[in-house]
Amino acid sequence: MELWQELVRKSVSSVDELVKIFGIDAETSKKMDSLFHTRINPYYLGLIRYPGDPIWLQCTPNIKELQDDGLPEDPLNEDGDSPVPNITHRYPDRVLFLVTSQCSMYCRFCTRKRKVGDSSKISMRWLQAGIDYIASHKEIRDVVISGGDPLMLTDYMLEKILSALREIKHVEIIRIGTRIPSVLPQRVTTKLCNTLKKFHPIYINTHFNHPWECTPEAQKACEMLADAGIPLGNQSVLLKGVNDKPEIMLELVRKLLQMRVKPYYLYQADITKGSNYFRTPIQTGLEIMDKLRGHTSGLAVPYFVIDAPGGGGKIPILPNYVLYHDEEKIVLRNYNYDVYEYPEIKSTKRKTKKSTEFLRRKRRIFPVKIYSKDKEIE
């Protein structure tokens, strides 16, 4: 048994352990465990500095999860866009491929908590069906492997999956979504890196939410993956009490670049059942972005996105830099709130009735009734 497997085996996961370590009422603990399992490996548990800190909040069950918040279990309609089990095909040229239900640490804000931790809902029995679907759809050039956490699979199983995908000629890019570098960096071994680099181009999007996760162990894991020729991006989720301050996010993105990880996305938290207490006002995210742009390298600035409810995909949102725009000029403000004018050039293209009708036809509104109007974010 490898070290990382030993750490997973020693994870806090039972009701009795939650009662003993975190002082959670036994009956409450049972109710929460029935909704979403707990797993906190010893490495990540050791990052907690005090009760209620940013690490604690991400991994420790909270009684607020039991509140009836009226939110959906599948806010992104992944199941609705699933032609075969384990596959979500939403965008024209790429698919999401779920290969395991297991994670080394179960995040309390998980969008996929309806499935994660339950091997009957993300079953390895359906892997071949997913591979067959990808092979039969020649428009698919990009496969995002997720779960659960794909790096929870053994090197042997990962190699089998990657090898099968690489045999499909129209698959150009393989991406792996994983929290392993931030929550269990011991999983990143020389053997794993040697396995992954056989199948380039491979990309990894990892998931750091707070600077305290940027430990020497995490840095070593990221450097090993980068040395194997794997570009690394980071997808953070904006979480109340964890990283909803500009100075925290600024420290995080700077540390990530030092670890050879490019900040890629900052997600507004999804409207997932049992995790409403993590959500922040959207303005919080816009203010954070305003404090990043111009105050640090552009390389460190992620896209702030909302994954649209109902399956609309990722939509980037920005602070308002455009103050005025007409046929003669655009008026802009910079990061320091200085105002500038830039002269417009007259377009040689003539708007036609056809083009305006096309724009009007394409502009559709998708109302998503999520919860009652009088319900507010706490």
Question: What is the set of active-site residues?
Answer: 90-91, 94, 103, 107, 110, 112, 270, 307, 314
Residues 246 and 249: their CA atoms lie apart, in Å, by 5
One-letter amino acid at 190 equals T
Locus of tokens 């990962």: 158
353 in helix, strand or coil?
A: helix
Q: What is the dihedral of CA 205, 209, 211, 213, to 10 degrees?
A: -70
Residues 111 and 327: their CA atoms lie apart, in Å, by 44
18 by Cβ neighbours in 10 Å (0-12 / 13-18 / 19+) ranks as buried
Treating both helix axes as pointing N-terminal to C-terminal, what angle do 26-35 and 15-22 enclose, rounded to 10 degrees? 130
What letter would DSSP give residue 213? G
Residues 125 and 277: their CA atoms lie apart, in Å, by 35
What are residue 235's DSSP bridge partners?
A: 265
In the chain, what's the furthest Cα-to-Cα distance?
72
CB 134 within 8 A of CB 171: yes
Locus of tokens 């706490």: 378
Which residues fall within 8 angstroms of residue 344, CB to CB, at 6 or more apart? 325, 326, 327, 328, 329, 330
Which residues fall within 8 angstroms of residue 360, CB to CB, at 6 or more apart? none
Instruction: Give the containing element (helix H, strand E) for 59.
Output: helix 54-59
Residues 378 and 375: their CA atoms lie apart, in Å, by 9
Structure tokens at 106: 């179960």
